[in-house]
Amino acid sequence: MNADTEADQPLPFVNFNQLRSFYAVAREMSFTKAAQVLHIGQPTLTVQVRALEERYGVELFLRSARGLQLSTTGRALFEIAKLIFLHEKQAVELLRSTKEEFSGELRVGSVGPLFVMKFLALFRRRFPLVQLRLESDNSDVVVRKILDGVTDVAVTGSPINDPRIHACQLGSHEIVVLINRSHPWAKLASIKLQQMDGQTMIIREAGSMTRAAFEATLSAHQVKPVIVMELPRDSVHEAVIEGIGIGIVSEAEYRNHNDLIALRIADMPSFTRSYVICLRSRRFSKPIAAFVELAESQAIAPQTTPT
């Protein structure tokens, strides 16, 4: 048997202060910003990065008139460093998870800030020591940031079919019809789906979960409004205010305005759903676990339509 076994080999060593300095500069792409993040002087930071380069005889950053860039080696090391410091964060979370109280920052991703805000307010009331940072992106970016450890939890409009991700339903939200107060339907409390046939309508942009759910209902019942615009969520409100046509939004995204009325579709309602997602490997983190558990406790029937 070879005596030179794996157990006999010394553990690999890298100076963590130097690696942390490299990681901060690579993440911020700025020595000045990285020094501020690490709360150290920029000269100290520069010395640590240079020492790492000299120790291994590599060039990690390229400095040119275009600014700071990662070298090929630097890009490869940055991908490894991201995982190292994600695991370090997980280790700290695990060690702190036995405390009765917890604090710190929870980074939340969302496909839209409006429908998640009530839940964030509830979370803040339950856990006032936790600081929330909200970032909004499209679904693909939200999921990628979860997988990369850039955000801790996220609220999406669809469940994610990935074994690395845990998902639970947060809510179900009725789709409502927006009309201008000058519209003939203004005195109605609700309408029937068939009344949408032939109506001048503003629809959400392609890829919208609200649009997909509503179009499925229209198609199933052969109702064909006249689509005159495709717009993002907030622009739908503005177009209806200007009297361009009627619109649709999830009731969770509806915002009150003197010139707007939201009507239910009484006979054939459509719904969107929201889900909380996180990495399965990070569910032991107390803030993440609290966020997911609160979401599961709030996963109830469709919410009431706004008035």
**Tens digit of each residue's pLDDT, the chain (307 residues):** 454 555 566 666 788 899 999 999 999 999 999 999 999 999 999 999 999 999 999 999 998 777 899 999 999 999 999 988 888 877 776 666 555 456 678 999 987 766 688 889 989 888 888 889 998 887 778 889 999 889 999 998 777 889 999 998 887 888 999 999 999 999 998 999 999 999 999 988 887 778 888 999 999 999 999 999 998 877 899 999 999 999 998 887 788 888 999 999 999 988 888 889 999 988 888 889 999 999 888 765 444 433 3
Give the torsion through C-alpha atoms of 296, 299, 300, 304, to 10 deg: 140
Kind of pairing, strands 190-191 and 260-265?
A: parallel
Name the token pair of 63: 């400095």
Amino acid at 80: I
Amino acid at 30: S
Q: How far is CA 135 from its chain centroid?
A: 6
CATH, domain range 101-171+275-298: 3.40.190.10
| Domain residue ranges in the chain | 6-94, 101-171+275-298, 175-272
Name the token pair of 12: 């690999």
Verdict on whether the full-model pTM lies above 0.75? no
Name the token pair of 75: 């890009």
How does DSSP classify residue 134? Answer: E
pLDDT 10s digits, 119-169: 899 898 888 888 899 988 877 788 899 998 899 999 987 778 899 999 988
The residue with tokens 């690999």 is 12
pLDDT at 211: 86
Class of domain 6-94: mainly alpha
Is the fold of 101-171+275-298 the same as that of 175-272? yes
Sign of CA dihedral 58, 63, 68, 69: negative
Length of the chain as a residue count: 307
Q: Does domain 175-272 have CATH number 3.40.190.10?
A: yes
